[in-house]
Amino acid sequence: MHDPHSERMSASETRAAGGLALVFAFRMLGMFMVLPVLATYGMDLAGATPALIGLAIGAYGLTQAVLQIPFGILSDRIGRLPIIYVGLLIFAAGAVLAANADSIWGVIAGRVLQGAGAISAAVMALLSDLTREQHRTKAMAMIGMSIGLSFAVAMVVGPLLTRAYGLSGLFWVTAGMALLGILIIALLVPKASRTLAHRESNVARQALGATLRNPELLRLNIGILVLHAILMASFVALPLALVDEGALPKEEHWWVYLSALLIGFFGMVPFIIYAEKKRRMKRVLSGAVLVLLLCELFFWLFGHSLHALVAGIVVFFTAFNLLEASLPSLVSKVAPAGGKGTAMGVYSTSQFLGAALGGILGGWLYQHGGLGLVFVGCALLGVIWLLAAATMREPPYVTSLRRPLVAAALADRGLVGRILAVPGVSDAVVVAEETALYIKVDTQQLDRELLERVLEDAADTHSA
């Protein structure tokens, strides 16, 4: 039995976090690998038009957005594993349907079915069941890193696999990765001894209304929606621009994305460090949105040579990586105590809606006005986000903590007030059904000793 207060993750926690991160990575790899290739290879499919290619790129986002929160809530009732197994099987079935398609409509149907395997919330909830409080942030960071890495790998591997095996082969590989995910869950991930009701990773229905009405969270939800709309619409246009304007054969696109993602990854790191250390998150976020907007205008005005396109794509991915990494951190800072899981659920739903909107809009704009209109449309989306980002408040630099309470302490009416009086505590809420206290703290200002004393006094007083 491991020490509940150990500073190191136990072997079972490491297996849980690593296994679930792999499942997430395989699934997202399957979603993303088609992005750099569908616009160029998909036009060979029967009935393909630019608008339908755009729909195929974004279609998974529609079903993912609609089903993610309901699947998460259902996993609280019937268990995590049934939802995750069924979701991965649905995802694999969608990939098989797309692999056997000889028309664009078959690929669209497959992508819609892939999105219906919406297991993100259930996987995050299972991670909470399998990890202790003090290691949960670390475990969730592993999953976040796996998603970012899978996107980078997909941009490079997608074109290489499609060159070797065609679009059909790409979807067969995707189906295989979903089945591999099932094996990882069955053989590698430990079995949970309990299902936790946990507001840091689960959606709480009673908190949905307040989350949707919170103006700061609304700005961040608009942000992730626009970011993924711009990404998907750009991937309707950029592969075609590389072929038409840059005279780069579609089989060679992988090196452009590899270069852009590597430079973009290292390029964003100083800005993230500056934003956190100097507490200038709003300035960095707004600057990155402006750069994204300018990239789209650059593609429109100057994207007529391979060198210009590659340079623009490198800067685009630097800004994209910075925004993709910063936004979830901002959501967790802005969400009220006990509301992080719900806020992240709404945020993820907004992200998938953005993916659907971007694919559909990018395809429609390209069909009606060519590459230039797609880039102008993306720039206009960037203007909307820039206005939302410019009016946001500087976020609070706080961390969420969850502390279990003794059942008797729930009757203490003054506990929240005493917790809020501790220097560095900005928000606190007691959740009776979990016998737990959720608090938001500024770690630079927190008086840890006083906080521990208040919690110990509450436990001692009510157990006496």
CA nearest 333: which of 344, 324, 322?
Answer: 344
pLDDT for position 459: 66
pLDDT for position 380: 98
- Three-class HEC string of 291-324: HHHHHHHHHHHHCCCHHHHHHHHHHHHHHHHHHH
CA nearest 299: which of 263, 246, 368?
Answer: 246
Q: What's the CA angle centered on 457, arms 452 and 459, to 5 degrees?
A: 95
- Give 152's contacts (C-beta < 8 A, 6+ positions apart): 261, 265
Q: Which sign, positive or negative, has the C-alpha torsion 61, 321, 240, 174? A: negative
Those residues of the chain that have pLDDT short of 50 are: 1-2, 464
Residue with tokens 């711009």, as numbered in its chain: 230
β-pair partners for 430: 437
Q: What is the DSSP letter of 413?
A: T
Ramachandran class of 344: left when φ > 0, alpha when ψ lies in -120 to 50, beta otherwise: alpha
Q: What is the DSSP letter of 397?
A: -
Q: What is the distance between the alpha carbons of residues 412 and 382, in angstroms, rounded to a whole number?
A: 49
β-pair partners for 441: 399, 425
pLDDT for position 60: 94
Q: Taking the CB of residue 249, how many other CB atoms lie within 10 A of it?
A: 11
H or E segment to which residue 402 belongs: strand 399-404
Domains and CATH numbers, the chain: 11-190+216-390 (1.20.1250.20), 399-463 (3.30.70.100)
Instruction: For helices 50-78 and 215-244, give the axis angle rounded to 10 degrees.
Output: 140
Q: What is the distance between the alpha carbons of residues 70 and 73, in angstroms, rounded to a whole number?
A: 5
Q: DSSP of 40-83, one letter per residue?
A: HHGGGSBT--HHHHHHHHHHHHHHHHHHHHHHHHHHHHH-HHHH
Instruction: Read off the pLDDT of residues 333-380 as tens digits, 9 standing for 90 and up.
Output: 888 888 888 898 899 999 999 999 999 999 999 999 999 999 999 999
Q: Taking the CB of residue 213, how many other CB atoms lie within 10 A of it?
A: 9
Q: What's the CA angle centered on 250, arms 248 and 252, to 5 degrees?
A: 70
